[in-house]
Amino acid sequence: MESTICPWCQTEIVWDEELGAEEQCPYCHNELKGYRTLNIQLGDEEEFEDEADGDEEEADYWEEGDTHLDAIRRVESFVAGGGDLLAYESGVEKVLDGQDEVPECPHCREYMLHAGQQEISGGSFEPVVPKGMQSPLLSGTLKLNVYVCSACFSVSRFLAEEERNTFIRTVSEKA
């Protein structure tokens, strides 16, 4: 009988000679033949700083349209202008505590503050009639809840609760 020690779980594995060795450990299910090592070089701090500087230059172009970084800069400019960041954060928490709905920002995943409602009238909204239906999904005057992200300051709009219920009824009954 042939035996092997798993490099991952340090268990001795005894193989049947007829079946031969397997590619995975039967205990931890890790790959036995592809055991990989990680080499960490210890050296001068100056070498690491040089490498880190190169990484920062490459990272500048990684996500050029990153709105989250822009938001951080905006908040930093608020603090640099004499603003109190702690007061801002506690104010945001108070507003969020009073909200019934707290959506996440689609850009940075922070919570959004309910800033108000927007009314869209028939002149600024042109509804379409989907295939298989006789009437549009939304019609007339609509109310949208407007939310502002507390971190990146992006704005999102969602149907107000009355319009959501009307939308659900329309889709349920006419589809």
What pLDDT, on a 0 to 100 scale, did the predictor assign at position 57?
55
Q: Report in angstroms the alpha-carbon separations of 89 from 39, 70, 78, 154.
A: 43, 18, 12, 17
pTM over cut 0.75: no
Number of H helices, E strands in the chain: 4, 5
What pLDDT, on a 0 to 100 scale, did the predictor assign at position 43?
65
Measured distance CA(10)–CA(167) in Å, rounded: 60
Who contacts 138 (Cβ-Cβ below 8 Å, separation ≥6)?
125, 127, 163, 166, 167, 170
Pairing of strands 142-149, 112-120: antiparallel
Q: Spell out the per-residue pLDDT of the chain, length 175, in tens.
A: 677 788 878 888 887 777 777 778 888 888 877 666 666 667 666 666 665 555 555 555 555 455 555 555 667 777 777 878 888 889 999 999 999 999 999 888 889 999 999 998 877 888 888 888 888 888 878 999 999 998 888 999 999 999 999 889 888 887 6
What pLDDT, on a 0 to 100 scale, did the predictor assign at position 144?
93
Query: What size, in residues, is the chain?
Result: 175
Asked if residues 105 and 151 have their Cβ atoms less than 8 Å apart, the reply is: yes
What pLDDT, on a 0 to 100 scale, did the predictor assign at position 15?
79
What pLDDT, on a 0 to 100 scale, did the predictor assign at position 140?
79
Measured distance CA(2)–CA(32) in Å, rounded: 15
